[in-house]
Amino acid sequence: MEEETPFGLGYSMPAEWEEHEGTWLSWPKNHESFPEELLPEVEEAYLSMIVALASHERVDLLVDDARTEERVSKRLSARGVAGNIRLHRIRTADVWFRDYGPIFVKRGEGRVAFVHWGFNAWGGKYDDLKEDVHIPEKLPLQGLPSFKGPMVLEGGSIEVNGSGTLLTTEQCLLNRNRNPHLTKSDIERNLREYLGAAKVIWLKDGIAGDDTDGHIDDIARFVSKDVVVCALESEKDDENYAALKANFELLKGSTGSDGKRLKVVPLPMPSPVICKGQRLPASYTNFYIANGTVLVPIFRDPMDKEAMQVLKGLFPTRKVIGINCRELVYGFGAIHCVTQQQPKRQG
C-alpha cells in the first residue's frame, strides 16, 4: 500500500512570509567553505542574523560540540541576546541548512509536518558534505509528522507563494545529476503531492558562479501571492545579462495557479564578486523573510542601497536589515541558503 502524501492529507508548503515558529541555522566552521581568514567575518554575519531574528522569533542553532556551544553562547550574550535561542549539539558537515534540512508543510491553520528529501550534495559535487542528508532525522522535531520525499530536492531550488504556485529552474531540477530516472512530469507530480504545488513555473538558467546548478533563490522570489522580485543585470556585457533577462521576460508572461498574471519587480545585481579569480553567486534575491524582519545580503557594493530601497518598498510592515555577506558568499551561498523557516503551529 502506497504512503499517503502530504497533499492528500491536506498539507502544503506555506509562503515564507507566513508566521514562523522559528528559524533553523547551523554555525559556520567548514574551512573548505570559509578559509580561516574569512571565518571571523562569516561569524559576524551569523551573529547579526541571529540578533535580528531573535527579537521576533525563536532561533534554533546547530553547533558541533559543547566547546562551540559555550563560545557561541558567550558571543550572543555579549550582543545582549539571552532568550529566544536554542542551541542543539548536532554535528553538521556544513552550513547550508536550506538545502539539506527538512522542508516544513502545514495543514490549514493548524498542524505542521515536514518532508525529508534526498540530498546528494548538489549533484555529487562534494562527497564530504553528503552526510548532511541525515540532519532532518536528528533534529528535535518529535511530535511532528514526517514524510520521505521521493527524490533529491534542495530547499534553495524551489520558491512558493503559499497558494499553489512554485518557481524553480530547468537547470537545477531537470539536471541529470539529481534525479535522472524522473521526467519533468514526475517531478511536477512530486512537487504537487509533497508540497502542494498546483502549478510549477519553470525558469531557465541560474547566475554565474552558482555551484548549485541554478537555484531559484539567487534569481526570483515571491514577496506576496502575486508579486515576484526578479534579479536583472543592467550591464549588457555581463555574463548574467542574457539569462536573467530571459527569466524576467518568462515571469512577466506567467500566471499563478489561480490564473492571475504575476507582477514582476526587477531587483538589481551587485557588481561581480570575485575571489581568487572565481566569480561568486552574489545576489540580492537571497534574502530571508522572517517575523517582523527581512534580512538582505549586501556586499559592500554601490548597488546595495538601491536593492535595499526596492525591498523596503515591498515590505512596508517589516524592518528590512542589510547583512554583510561578502565573505559568506565565498562559500557559494548567502542568507537564504543558511536559513530554514518552521511555520507557526496553531492550537
pLDDT in tens, 58-93: 999 999 999 999 999 999 999 988 789 999 999 999
Q: In this structure, what are the phi and psi dihedrals at residue 145, rounded to the nearest 5 degrees?
A: -60, 145
Any domain includes 133:
yes
Query: Looking at 172, 230, 325, 337, which residue is catalytic?
Result: 337
Any domain includes 305:
yes
Any domain includes 209:
yes
Q: Which stretches in the chain have pLDDT values below 50?
A: 1
Cell of 126: 562534494
What pTM does this model have?
Answer: 0.96
275 is catalytic: no
H or E segment and range at residue 44: helix 39-54
Q: Into how many domains does the chain fold?
A: 1
Any domain includes 92:
yes
Alpha carbon 271 to its chain centroid, in Å, reads 22
Q: What is the number of helices (H) and of strands (E) in the chain?
A: 10, 19
Cα separation, 141 vs 342, whole angstroms: 10
- Give the CATH number for residue 122: 3.75.10.10
Q: Write down the pLDDT at residue 110.
A: 83
Q: Please give the C-alpha separations between residue 231 and each of 81, 103, 160, 285, in angstroms, as whole numbers.
A: 34, 24, 17, 7
Cell of 155: 530547499
Neighbours of 66 (CB within 10 A): 10
Three-state DSSP class for residue 329: helix
Any domain includes 1:
no
Q: Write down the pLDDT at residue 2.
A: 58
Q: Write down the pLDDT at residue 204.
A: 97
Mean of pLDDT over the chain: 96
pLDDT in tens, 109-164: 789 999 999 999 999 999 999 999 999 999 999 889 999 999 999 999 999 999 99
Any domain includes 2:
no
Closest CA to 191 of 257, 144, 243, 141: 257
Q: Write down the pLDDT at residue 80.
A: 87
Three-state DSSP class for residue 56: coil
Closest CA to 23 of 64, 55, 53, 63: 53
Alpha carbon 212 to its chain centroid, in Å, reads 12
How far is the first Cα of the chain from the last one, in angstroms, to the nearest whole number?
32
Cell of 101: 534540512
Q: 71 is in which domain, residue-wise?
A: 7-343
